[in-house]
Amino acid sequence: MATKNLLQAIGEGLAEEMRVDDSVMVLGEDVGRAGGVFRVTQGLAEEFGAQRAMDTPLAESLIVGAAIGLSVNGMRPVAEIQFADFITPAFDQIVNEAARFYYRSNGAWECPITIRAPYGAVPGGALYHSQSVEAWFCNTPGLKVAAPTFPADAKGMLKNAIRDPNPVLFLEHKRTYRLIKEDVPEEDYSVPLGKARVHREGNDITVVSYGLMLYTALQVAEKLSEEHGIEVEVVEPRTLYPLDKETILESAKKTGKFLVVSEANLTGSVSGEIAAIVAREAFEWLDGPVMRLGAPDVPAAAFAKPMMDLFVPSQEKIEAAMLELARY
């Protein structure tokens, strides 16, 4: 074991897969010599050369389109979108091409690509560096959407994403890159896609969250335990599509009270899908309304920090929502 932050764990996972499989490569804006804007790919060009840590033009449709072409010619490319906000030029390539290759070819063609994209609000990020884009992709059969929060999970899930025979969108919350640290196994291991993780067990309420909000929710859960004796069960989906409904429903039925927290806009969000599943399939076990907490329906987080702080659910807002539900 060695203590790593999220950024280091992801970079380590990339390097390990590239060492054991010559078909694995990375491509994207500044991923080569510069090591990526967040330095996730630092050192890969020096170790593997420019052909396997490949800088590309500033054209997301080209990055994903080239990755698709590489994948059907024997490669396992990892395409980096510098910020998730920039992913829209590649939307057609991801949704209409990569996600449908296997289906439209009746299983004859696979498309083993991984698309990494840093998402989430960050101070000073404003309109084009702070968006949560997961809902755009979570109704696309043929595409998996992973969003791990903790380093060991991220490394293991990235390995599985690269090995997956079909496309995986791998979301990384940029504010957690250096914030979250934990021991990460040094030996080879993988973490399955499509399996949720119960971070904290409790009997009073269930909170489902991911990204930075998961980290905040865990802090609030500890506070409520110490100050109010309320025991919150905290569940992280880890994979947003397909969802691990079994683990989520098991927790909802156990506690009878359910809250989903994310920093995405509420309308049309992943949290709405999770809430709908629980409302339909755990209704008879519930002792209160299914609650959601998220960002207001405005286009993006503002540049000014006070406005951004209003956009992202705060620790105080999460605590208030947990207390409201616990006392219902």
What ranges do the domains of the chain cover? 2-184, 197-326
Across residues 309-324, what is the average pLDDT?
95
Same topology between domain 2-184 and domain 197-326: yes
Q: What is the pLDDT of residue 300?
A: 85
Residue 125: what pLDDT?
Answer: 87
Catalytic residues: 129
Over the chain, what is the mean pLDDT?
A: 96
Spatial distance between the Cα atoms of 277 and 249, rounded to a whole number of angstroms: 8
Q: Mind listing the pLDDT tens digit for each residue in 266-299?
A: 999 999 999 999 999 999 999 999 999 999 999 8
pLDDT at 124: 86
Helical packing angle, 270-281 and 245-255, nearest 10°: 60
- Distance CA(56)–CA(62), nearest Å, equals 8
**pLDDT over threshold 90, residue 221:** yes
Q: Is 227 exposed, middle or buried (0-12, 13-18, 19+ CB in 10 A)?
A: exposed
Q: How confident is the model at residue 319 (pLDDT cuts 50, 70, 90)?
A: very high
Per-residue pLDDT, 126 = 87
For domain 197-326, give the CATH number: 3.40.50.920
d(CA 260, CA 29): 34
Architecture of the domain whose range is 2-184: 3-Layer(aba) Sandwich (3.40)
Q: Could you report the per-residue pLDDT of 14-67, keeping only the tens digit for each?
A: 999 999 999 999 999 999 999 999 999 999 999 999 999 999 999 999 999 999
With pLDDT > 70 as the criterion, what percentage of the chain qualifies? 100
Determine what percent of the chain falls in helix, strand and coil, rounding each to the nearest 5.
40, 20, 40
Confidence at 123, pLDDT banded by 50, 70, 90: confident
**DSSP class per residue in 1-58:** -EEEEHHHHHHHHHHHHHHH-TTEEEEETT-STT--TTSTTTTHHHHH-TTTEEE--S
Instruction: Give the model confidence (pLDDT) of 188-206 as tens digits.
Output: 999 999 999 999 999 999 9
pLDDT more than 90, % of the chain: 93
In this prediction, residue 140 carries a pLDDT of: 97
pLDDT for residue 89: 97
